[in-house]
């Protein structure tokens, strides 16, 4: 990460302000490579197919939820309801499958269930987006309210118990592999690519970034910021629903509260991936790198037999380290810039 390598890339202030995407990726990549080397030395089993496969099965769920968190953060908000939206969507799928005979339910029933789950997720998101955009309430409050509502609703409907007994083809979605690549990972890759394209290559994505940087300015510039907000929370809800479907397939059961622990980790992954907590800046690729790093840390520490609490502590340390690293970069940029101006 020497200055000489960076200089040719510096074209102007705007480029710097967006965080130098290549640099963001590079610093995370360096960190990832370091970690992989360290764990490969510490445990001979780290670089085996079994471990890589295991990580490939584990990461997508957190990954989908993180992408669902990412878009609202880009728009300057937050979605605290992601896990419970996923749970409620999963319950919708489970309920549909139960209507078609549980374990005997066919593929059409599964597809119908998924469609209904996505609709429920989208609806939950749309309501949040609507309240954020048109009532002007703070996204933290709105999504917190939605989280409490969905949790209560789910617990009321299931009485805190779980629904299980799903058809076998769902097992393939949660635990199958195609040519050695875990199915959940393929699903995640496709969705992440779609999410990237949506955010970086479409007018809607542009308007998300603009709304996130400055809502008022975006409105004065003629963007329909309110519609953008509703749409982004709706899409976030859809991603939660997909995560909920995957969760149902992975655990063969649905219960309100499955995956609760992931909520704050998704926020961690977003910030580790260089998303601006105040909205407007950040990309999908570094967030995915951040997810891989978190997964490598978690699986690696498990492999060498470290305490689970220690691994969360290490996650926290990494976030702090990354922030320190970044602030150093920013200072250097500012230094370079002022030199250029004078």
CB of 45 to another protein, least distance (A): 6
Where in 251-270 is the site for another protein (CB under 8 A)?
A: 251-253, 255, 257-262
The answer to whether 331 contacts another protein (rule: CB under 8 A) is no
The answer to whether 54 contacts another protein (rule: CB under 8 A) is yes
CB of 280 to another protein, least distance (A): 27
Q: Measured from the CB atom, is 106 or 316 closer to another protein?
A: 316
CB of 322 to another protein, least distance (A): 9
Q: Measured from the CB atom, is 61 or 210 closer to another protein?
A: 61
Where in 169-228 is the site for another protein (CB under 8 A)?
A: 171, 174-175
Q: Measured from the CB atom, is 91 or 133 closer to another protein?
A: 91
Kindly write down the DSSP assignment for every residue of 131-198, as one continuous string: IIIII---HHHHHHHHHHHHHHHHHHHHTT--EE---THHHHHHH-EETTEEHHHHHHHHHHHHHHHH
- What torsion do the CA atoms of 83, 246, 293, 319 make, to the nearest 10 degrees? 0
Pairing of strands 177-178, 163-164: unpaired
- CA distance linking residue 209 with residue 207, whole number of Å: 5
Cβ–Cβ < 8 Å for 292, 241: no
Interface residue with another protein among 96, 237, 299, 333 (CB under 8 A) is 299
Cβ–Cβ < 8 Å for 93, 165: no
Stretch that binds another protein, among 95-103, 126-134, 183-191, 309-317 (CB under 8 A): 309-317
Q: Measured from the CB atom, is 213 or 299 closer to another protein?
A: 299
Kindly write down the DSSP assignment for every residue of 288-321, as one continuous string: HHHHHHHHHHHHHHHHTT--HHHHHHHHHHHHHH
The answer to whether 11 contacts another protein (rule: CB under 8 A) is no
Interface residue with another protein among 7, 50, 135, 179 (CB under 8 A) is 50
Interface residue with another protein among 18, 25, 164, 214 (CB under 8 A) is 164
Q: Measured from the CB atom, is 21 or 257 closer to another protein?
A: 257
- CA distance linking residue 20 with residue 178, whole number of Å: 36
Q: Measured from the CB atom, is 163 or 208 closer to another protein?
A: 163
Cβ–Cβ < 8 Å for 126, 230: yes
Residue 3: CB partners within 8 Å, gap ≥ 6? 332, 336
Interaxial angle between packed helices 262-272 and 49-74, expressed in degrees from 0 to 180 and rounded to the nearest 10: 80
Cβ–Cβ < 8 Å for 74, 279: yes
Interface residue with another protein among 314, 319, 336, 337 (CB under 8 A) is 314
> Site for another protein (CB under 8 A): how many residues?
55
Stretch that binds another protein, among 52-60, 106-114, 283-291, 332-340 (CB under 8 A): 52-60
CB of 289 to another protein, least distance (A): 15
Structure tokens at 139: 């996204």
Phi-psi region of 48 (alpha: psi -120 to 50; beta: other; left: phi over 0): beta
Residue 116: CB partners within 8 Å, gap ≥ 6? 92, 93, 96
Contacting positions for another protein (CB under 8 A): 1, 30-31, 34-35, 38-39, 41-45, 48, 50-51, 53-55, 57-58, 61, 162, 164, 171, 174-175, 247, 250-253, 255, 257-262, 298-299, 301-309, 312, 314, 317, 321, 324-325
């Amino acid at each position: 990460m020497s200055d000489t390598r960076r200089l040719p890339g510096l074209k102007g202030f705007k480029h710097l302000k967006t965080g130098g995407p290549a640099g963001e990726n590079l610093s995370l990549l360096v960190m990832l490579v370091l970690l992989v080397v360290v764990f490969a030395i510490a445990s001979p089993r780290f670089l085996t197919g079994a471990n890589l496969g295991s990580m490939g099965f584990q990461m997508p769920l957190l990954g989908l939820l993180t992408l669902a968190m990412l878009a609202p953060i880009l728009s300057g908000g937050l979605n605290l309801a992601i896990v419970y939206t996923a749970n409620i969507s999963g319950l919708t799928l489970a309920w549909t499958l139960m209507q078609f005979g549980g374990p005997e339910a066919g593929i059409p029933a599964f597809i119908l269930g998924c469609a209904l789950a996505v609709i429920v997720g989208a609806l939950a998101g749309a309501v949040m987006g609507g309240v954020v955009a048109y009532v002007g309430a703070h996204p933290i409050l709105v999504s917190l309210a939605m989280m409490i509502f969905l949790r209560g609703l789910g617990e009321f409907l299931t009485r805190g118990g779980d629904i299980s007994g799903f058809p076998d083809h769902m097992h393939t979605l949660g635990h199958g592999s195609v040519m050695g690549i875990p199915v959940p990972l393929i699903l995640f890759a496709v969705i992440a690519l779609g999410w990237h394209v949506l955010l970086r290559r479409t007018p809607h994505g542009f308007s998300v970034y603009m709304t996130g940087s400055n809502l008022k300015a975006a409105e004065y510039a003629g963007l329909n910021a309110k519609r953008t907000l509703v749409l982004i929370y709706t899409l976030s809800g859809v991603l939660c629903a997909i995560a909920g479907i995957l969760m149902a397939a992975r655990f063969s059961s649905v219960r309100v509260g499955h995956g609760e622990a992931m909520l704050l980790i998704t926020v961690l992954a977003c910030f580790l991936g260089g998303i601006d907590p105040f909205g407007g800046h950040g990309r999908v690729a570094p967030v995915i790198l951040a997810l891989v790093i978190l997964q490598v840390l978690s699986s690696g520490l498990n492999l060498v037999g470290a305490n689970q609490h220690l691994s969360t502590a290490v996650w926290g340390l990494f976030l702090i380290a990354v922030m320190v690293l970044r602030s150093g970069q920013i200072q250097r940029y500012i230094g370079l810039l002022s030199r250029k101006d004078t």
